[in-house]
Chain A
Amino acid sequence: MDDHARKFQKDLNAGLVALVLLAVLDQTPEDLYGYEIAKRLQKANEGEALFKEGTVYPVLRALSANGLLTSRIVPSYAGPPRRYYRITEEGRAVLQSWSGIWRQTRNFVDRFMEGVDR
């Protein structure tokens, strides 16, 4: 990716990573910790990663600080204690409204992209 592409991707990711994280945690019944979440995203996106896994963690913390996720710490034998995340009711409500906005935005943008792709 060149610099323009990288910058564009970064700007896009600003809100989308949070949306994807809420969706991932909404779809799993069990709590997940940062590494698991990062690996799931990596697996879903074979090929070149759209974002670095390291950028997932600060967003998780921000969502948690805003009350959209709750977290608990579980000791681990393999290293430092792990922080497990779970989506809250507020998080689910936010996800609902965000996914509506996302669909709208995607349709809107797609309408203009039709002639561009070749």
Chain B
Amino acid sequence: MTRAAPRSIEDYLNQLRDALQGADPALIQDALYDAEEYLRAEVASHSGKSEADVLELIASTYGAPEEVAAAYKDTEAKVSAALRPMEPKSAQSPSAIRRFFGIYSDPRAYTSLFYMLLTLATGIVYFVFVVTGLSLSAGLAVLIVGFPFFLAFIGIARVISLGEGRLLEAVTGERMPRRPVHPGAPTGLWSRIIDMLKDARTWTTLAYLLLMLPLGIIYFTVAVVGVSLSFALIAAPLATIADRFGWLTLDGRGFDIQPAWLLDSPLGSIFAVALGVLILTSLMHGARGLGRAQVALARGLLVKPGR
């Protein structure tokens, strides 16, 4: 457990990350962020001293990585315990019907639905980018330009994956990485390419970007069909009534609203509206659930495990 005292900010952050292993990723990120703010400010305020000299004193001012990690874990446990009784009691067991329709007051459901529509566009862009980048990299590999090209291609793929994470955080509220993973100490072109090829995340990122095309097509189709079908079902009885009174005409002619056998009876009309509401509400629930599933998928494929 006892390691050599950190001699650089990078060192300190790595030790802190190790000490926090197993904690909530958002907490780890907060802790690293806070420590980096403090350490950089501390080093900057001792302009005469070297980074190593400043870091030597850090254990007695800021605290050793293990101490700081323990403080975050303690506070997190205390805060979550303190917040639990503050949640309203009535929210614990709302009726099934209220839970079902409560989805309309959840902004995440709307944003997730929007995400489903957007994935067709992003899916196409990602797919074209990966296919073009991979085939050009393979084709250019025989030439010397192939290597920097591949490096740039993977670099852009990582920026895209960070952007996708930010988008998912905006949509679902689930915490996703805010900054790219630090590339580490600068090394030569060749060793960086080897590292990238050996890094499993490179390949899972590309797989995710490719996968977004078929997923995007499915999400988009489900969202469009669901929304239009449910709105049509809800509006059909009204349209039938309007049509019957001659309020709904095009070039002086009425419409033939189907299925007429259903909409001709009041009971059938009520059934159509109820079915429309049911489909729409289910779609909203499905969208929110899908947003969360997408976050899990993105965490698995885009975010480096343990980082």
Contacts and interface: CB of A to CB of B under 8 A. Distances in A.
Contacts of B83: 65-66
Dominant SS among interface residues on chain A? helix
Contacts, number: 77
Contacts of B61: 42, 49, 52-53
Contacts of A80: 33, 36-37, 40
A38 B75 contact: no
A38 B40 contact: no
Nearest to B76: A58
Interface stretch (B63-71, B129-137, B267-275, B296-304): B63-71
Given A35-B38, A78-B41, A53 B62 contact: yes
B79 A62 contact: yes
Interface residues of A, number: 23
A54 B34 CA distance: 8
Given A42-B61, A49-B60, A49-B61, A54 B38 contact: yes
B168 interface: no
A96 interface: no
A82 B76 CA distance: 21
A32 interface: no
Contacts of B30: 58, 61
Interface string A62-80: 1001100000000000111
A62 B30 CA distance: 11
Given A42-B61, A52-B61, A79-B41, A58 B33 contact: no
Contacts of B67: 52, 54-55
Dominant SS among interface residues on chain B? helix
Contact of B79 (A38, A49, A54, A66): A66
A35 B79 CA distance: 22
Contacts of A53: 38, 61-63
Contacts of A62: 75-76, 78-79
A59 interface: yes
B153 interface: no
Interface string B8-49: 000000000000000000000011011111101110100000
Given A14-B78, A34-B34, A54-B35, A79 B40 contact: yes
B101 interface: no
A57 interface: yes
B72 interface: yes
Contacts of A34: 34, 37-38
Contacts of A79: 36-37, 40-41, 44
B40 A78 contact: yes
B41 A35 contact: yes
A55 B38 contact: no
Given A35-B42, A57-B34, 16 more contacts: A38-B62, A52-B63, A52-B67, A52-B71, A53-B61, A54-B67, A55-B63, A55-B67, A57-B38, A57-B72, A58-B71, A58-B74, A61-B75, A62-B76, A79-B40, A80-B36
Closest 10 A/B residue pairs (Cβ): A79-B40, A52-B63, A54-B63, A54-B68, A57-B34, A58-B75, A55-B71, A35-B41, A54-B62, A62-B79
26 contacts: A34-B38, A35-B38, A38-B38, A38-B62, A52-B62, A52-B71, A53-B62, A53-B63, A54-B34, A54-B35, A54-B67, A55-B63, A55-B71, A57-B34, A57-B72, A58-B31, A58-B71, A58-B72, A61-B34, A66-B83, A78-B40, A78-B41, A78-B44, A79-B36, A79-B44, A80-B33
